[in-house]
């Protein structure tokens, strides 16, 4: 029986780092999931035949059915499920189309839950579920409110699932990084160079996440900055936290 890892959002900066490090584990194959076929092909060229490219749109149910069918046909042991795919956009509530709202909720919330349900029957003692949430899950964040709310959902679901899995040897961890230094990070907004407090590398986030998953933790926080942020939002009223957030992002917002 092959041992596999299933990785969504495989072609992004954090996804590629997860792919690189998970290949160092005792894994026969990594099912790399993303929409862009060309970038998936590049991953295969870089990392070899252990990478199985799967081009699907996680916002559509057909994509889930394809993964379910593949598991049913091949019957591997899923050693890792890494729900890394996610959509994020900064803007006011009216900047989001109905389609964008629907897609964001489907990818950020529905997809991780559905994939966990599909994959858990193929897991065994020592299998790990890593749901990539965010430090934005700790508090409401205006102007990224949809993203932050979806990540709060993912964090809550992951930690509760970890309790439900007690006794199985399978663990579920919510990975909650702050700003990650990848090429996808928007360096400038409306002519203003963006400052990212507590910026960390993708390598550091992934190493900590895998380490914490192996320890059976239900949440992974990789930097002192984010740990302090987590404590602060527990101590301060949320309306203060939102004012602090707004003071930090105010100069990047468009005048409406």
**Dist. CA 254–CA 256, nearest whole Å:** 6
Q: Are 226 and 135 in contact (CB under 8 A)?
A: yes
- Measuring CA to CA, which residue among 116, 217, 225 is closest to residue 174? 217
**Which residue among the candidates 127, 133, 150, 223 is catalytic per the annotation?**
133
**Dist. CA 102–CA 153, nearest whole Å:** 15
**Which residue among the candidates 136, 147, 158, 172 is catalytic per the annotation?**
147
The rounded Cα 200 to chain-centroid distance in angstroms is 16
Q: Which residues contact 231 (CB under 8 A, 6 or more apart)?
A: none
Burial per residue of 240-256, b for 16 or more beta-carbon CB atoms within 10 angstroms, e otherwise: ebbeebeeeeeebbeee
Examine the residue annotation and report whether 147 is marked as an active-site residue of this protein. Answer: yes
Bridge partner residues of 192 (DSSP): 189
Neighbours of 61 (CB within 10 A): 13
- Measuring CA to CA, which residue among 235, 214, 234, 212 is closest to residue 222? 212
Examine the residue annotation and report whether 151 is marked as an active-site residue of this protein. Answer: yes
Q: Which residues contact 6 (CB under 8 A, 6 or more apart)?
A: 30, 31, 33, 67, 78, 80, 81, 82, 115, 119
* Reduced DSSP (H G I as helix, E B as strand, rest coil) percent helix, strand, coil of the chain, to 5: 50, 15, 35
Examine the residue annotation and report whether 254 is marked as an active-site residue of this protein. Answer: no
**Which residue among the candidates 151, 157, 217, 223 is catalytic per the annotation?**
151
The helix/strand/coil state of 2 is: coil
The catalytic residue positions are 133, 147, 151
């Amino acid at each position: 029986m092959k041992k596999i890892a299933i990785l969504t959002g495989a072609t992004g900066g954090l996804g590629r780092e997860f792919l690189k490090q998970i290949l160092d584990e005792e894994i026969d194959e990594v099912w790399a999931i993303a929409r862009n076929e060309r970038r998936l092909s590049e991953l295969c060229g870089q990392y070899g035949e252990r990478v199985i490219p799967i081009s699907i749109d996680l916002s559509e149910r057909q994509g889930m059915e394809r993964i379910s069918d593949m598991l049913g046909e091949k019957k591997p042991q899923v050693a890792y499920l890494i729900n890394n795919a996610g959509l994020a956009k900064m803007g006011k509530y009216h900047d989001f189309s109905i389609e964008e709202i629907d897609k964001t909720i489907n990818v950020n919330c529905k997809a991780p839950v559905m994939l966990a349900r599909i994959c858990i029957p193929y897991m065994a003692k020592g299998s790990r579920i890593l749901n990539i949430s965010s430090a934005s899950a700790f508090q409401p964040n205006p102007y990224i409110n949809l993203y932050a709310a979806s990540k709060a959902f993912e964090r809550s679901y992951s930690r509760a699932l970890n309790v439900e899995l007690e006794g199985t040897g399978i663990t579920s961890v919510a990975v909650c990084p702050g700003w990650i230094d990848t090429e996808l990070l928007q360096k400038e907004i409306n002519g203003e160079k963006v400052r990212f407090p507590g910026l960390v590398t993708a390598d550091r986030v992934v190493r900590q996440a895998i380490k914490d998953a192996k320890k059976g933790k239900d949440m992974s926080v990789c930097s002192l900055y984010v740990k302090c942020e987590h404590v602060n939002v527990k101590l301060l009223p949320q309306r203060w936290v939102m004012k602090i957030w707004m003071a930090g992002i105010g100069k990047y917002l468009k005048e409406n």
